[in-house]
Structure 1
Amino acid sequence: MEQSILTINNLTKKFGYLTAVKDLSFTINKGNVYGILGPNGSGKSTTLGIVLNVVNKTSGDFHWFDGNTTTHDALKQVGAIIERPNFYPYMTAAENLKLVCRIKGVDYSKIDEKLEVVGLLDRKNHQFKTYSLGMKQRLAIASALLNDPEILILDEPTNGLDPQGIHQIRKIIKEIAANGTTILLASHLLDEVEKVCSHVVVLRKGEKLYSGRVDEMINSYGYFELKTEKQDELLKILENNPDFGKLKVEGELITAFLNEPMSASDFNKMMFDEGIVLSHLVKRKESLEEQFLQLTDNLN
């Protein structure tokens, strides 16, 4: 039986006439990396704010763990970074983390351990103001990990970073997850969710469009790009074959989406047997991005 960390039921949040989160339900189970994915303004930050007791919900409910702990107590087992990290600029990284340890009632021995996780141990005695943006973000992650939380919550963790900084943060997130910490991250970057997360909740205007495993969302069987001199005949065959779904025709190029797995060579042989010679045959996999765009477009 999977152990649930966070359960959200029919959560709704209205700001005046605006509904930021609409009837949202999903469950986060232990040991996975969840992405809440959606464009800006889709309700990601509001959802995180509600479960972290920073924003009041309008209706619905949520509970942490088995539901028998108060949110206040449960949040002691949660590490979260939802705003820009605020550390004292003239204090060193280690001094800043000592303050956090005092607030959280954590032993100072955790400081080096967590700085090591985020690759800042060698910079621990440098002042915070000398840190690059990426290092500041990594220090914030170290800070959120000091109390060995059950779950780490990150809102747009790579926002504003350069490619190297982005790569470092994503690598750290994967390592933290590999050590058994559950992670929930909000992102508007598909690519980030595809690279980092095992599960995804796709939001649009506060509503859930999809939730499930990332690999199942990506798991369409791809599509063929085809050209032949007998275009009409080919289209007829494809239309009558249940292995194919959507067909798109642009000039000479036919794009045929697969409903079932099929290799290019099997398809080629099948066409040959039908007397159709293909002058162009390429098999492609539909990316999560294309599916995501389809998901978000369908509801415009």
Structure 2
Amino acid sequence: METILSLNNLTKKFGKNTAVDHLSFRIEKGNVYGILGPNGSGKSTTLGMILNVVNKTSGEFTWFDGNLSTHQALKKVGAIIEHPNFYPYMTAGQNLELVCKIKGTGTHRIDETLEIVGLLDRKKSKFKTFSLGMKQRLAIASALLNDPEILILDEPTNGLDPQGIHQIREIIRQIAAGGTTILLASHLLDEVEKVCSHVVIIRKGKKLYSGPVDEIVNSHGFFELQSSDLGLLKQLIQNHPKISKVTEDNGIIKAFLSDPMEAEEINRYLFEKGLCLSYLVKRKESLEEQFLKLTNQTSLT
């Protein structure tokens, strides 16, 4: 599989502060990657370095298997790393025509990109009349004008309402379905889990995990249990050989599995020990739970 981007021990220091610390991962063609981490974890700095707007301190990155210089490679990249910034009294179409002149590309894709982001009917509307979500969608259209092989987005749904978030996610899925590789940075677990095929988890500039989203959430899951005797329930669960960890929250016991086990088996085990359950459900660990386990945090912010 073709490697679009490769990072090798990429590091950025601002004085004594290390924003990105020996970060290494690869972006393969045709996938949707999410760089996931809390605010201040080094996501935007990483994107800035690979786009040549932030100077690296050490390490290397190469585009397209190292066959192109960074300057040449960036002609095949579309990126949004700041808030949309267009001329307010120009129409959407006029703003995109200006972007084409700056990029040195033809204007033949303007209607196509506006169609992709659902703004073709607003082509002649002035930018100042656009909502925040529409502005963000126009920015995505501008990043697609050069028909990029990879689209890079920094916090693409930041500040949007639920409808705007949904629209951006659907656009990302549509673009990815067309074969464009996507790299997005986000602190929103839900966004990465719903949109991305692969994830790079970083904290304080260091990589904690890199790989398919499915693999990080491919645990054996956990049970949620309740009983009139929580003390006995917790004791019995902790003694079960297939339970790796037990937590309690608001009267619900969570039992995390180290080996596969169905609800029937745990129910029978507890019944034979003289305990009846009032509540039992099996759940799959979410990306959030795996993330918090990796970072030893209680929340993402």
Stretch of structure 1 that moved more, 281-290 or 144-153: 281-290
The CA deviation at 1:210 is 1.2
Distance 1:132 1:231, change over 3 A: closer
- Note if 1:264 corresponds to 2:263: yes
Q: Where does residue 6 of structure 1 map in the other structure?
A: 5
* Bigger mean CA offset, 45-54 vs 205-214: 205-214
Return the offset for 1:101.
1.6
Structure 2 counterpart of 1:66, one-letter code: D
Verify the 8 A CA contact 1:37 1:186 in the aligned structure 2.
Answer: yes
Deviations 1:162-205 (A, max 9, x none): 11111111110111011110000011111111111111111111
Output the CA distance in 2 between the equivalents of 1:250 and 1:39: 24
State the AA in 1 paired with 2:153: L
- Tell me how far 1:106 sits from its aligned partner: 2.2
Cα offsets for 1:58-115 (capped at 9, x unmatched)? 1110000110210000000000001112211111111111112222232222100100
Give unpaired runs (5+ residues) of structure 2: none
TM-score, normalised to structure 2, is: 0.92
2-structure distance, mates of 1:251, 1:164: 32
Matched, 1:199 2:224: no
Distance 1:232 1:147 in 2: 64
The structure-2 alpha-carbon separation of the partners of 1:172 and 1:289, relative to structure 1 and needing over 3 Å to count, comes to same
Q: Is the 8 A contact 2:234 2:253 kept in 1?
A: no
Q: Which runs of 5+ in 1 are unaligned?
A: none
SS state of the match for residue 246, structure 2? Answer: strand
Alignment of 1:55-70 (within 5 A): 55-70=54-69
User: Given the two structures, how large is their TM-score scaled by the length of structure 1?
Assistant: 0.92
Relative to structure 1, the CA distance from residue 215 to residue 162 in structure 2 (aligned partners, 3 Å threshold; closer, same or farther) is same
Does structure 2 retain, via aligned residues, the 8 Å contact 1:34–1:199?
A: yes
Quick one: distance in 2 between partners of 1:251 and 1:184? Answer: 38
**Residue of structure 2 in register with 1:211 after alignment:** 210
**Alpha-carbon distance in structure 2 between the residues aligned to 1:9 and 1:162:** 37
**Superimposed CA distance per residue, residues 270-294 of structure 1 (whole angstroms, 9 cap, x where no aligned partner):** 4445555434322232221122122
* Matched residue SS, 1:191: helix
Bigger shift: residues 136-145 or 88-97:
88-97
C-alpha separation in 1, matches of 2:251 and 2:164: 44
1:92 aligns to what?
A: 91
Matches within 5 A, 1:1-300: 2-227=1-226, 229=229, 232=232, 235=235, 238-241=238-241, 243-248=242-247, 254-273=253-272, 276-297=275-296
